[in-house]
Amino acid sequence: MDKSKRPFLKSKRSFRRRLPPIQSGDRIDYRNMSLISRFISEQGKILSRRVNRLTLKQQRLITIAIKQARILSLLPFLNNEKQFERIESTTRTTGLRTRNK
């Protein structure tokens, strides 16, 4: 059969099965910072379950552990690498025009 005659058949692609992000021996705990930090974005947000490739039960445990670590000040609530940088800007008074009376 010609390839042009079978447009809807997908080619068989080999794919590598991804390893689960949490091994069976890993304990999901608020003290396990190396594990918890893998599931937090650069901004400090908890990544979604789809991004993490976790099961529902694992995602719930990770979320609880992250929130406990935040409350105990082991993790920051926000991760602002850039502190509020003040760029040299003109002040408002210099931009105002004076009225001629």
Express each pLDDT in 45-78 by its tens digit: 999 999 999 999 999 999 999 999 999 999 988 8
Task: State the Cα–Cα distance between residues 35 and 48, nearest whole angstrom.
Answer: 15
Statement: residue 3 has pLDDT above 70:
no
Q: Which domain holds residue 35?
A: 31-77
Is 53 inside a domain boundary? yes
Distance of CA 52 to the CA centre of its chain: 9
The pLDDT tens digits of the residues spanning 9-53 come to 666 777 777 778 888 788 899 999 999 999 999 999 999 999 999
Give the chain's domain count.
1
3-state secondary structure of 40: strand
Domain-located, residue 37: yes
Whether 98 maps to a domain, the answer reads no
Query: Does some domain include residue 16?
Result: no
Indicate whether 44 belongs to any domain. Answer: yes
How many Å apart are CA 71 and CA 66, to the nearest integer?
Answer: 9
CATH number, domain with residue 65: 4.10.640.10
Instruction: Please say whether the beta carbons of 62 and 39 come within 8 A.
Output: yes
Name the DSSP letter for residue 73.
T
Phi and psi of 59, rounded to 5°?
Answer: -65, -40
Is residue 72 one of the residues assigned to a domain? yes
Q: What is the 8-class DSSP label of residue 45?
A: P
The pLDDT value given to residue 70: 95
In a domain, 89, yes or no: no
List of residues 6+ apart from 101 with CB closer than 8 A: none
Question: Does residue 52 form part of some domain?
Answer: yes
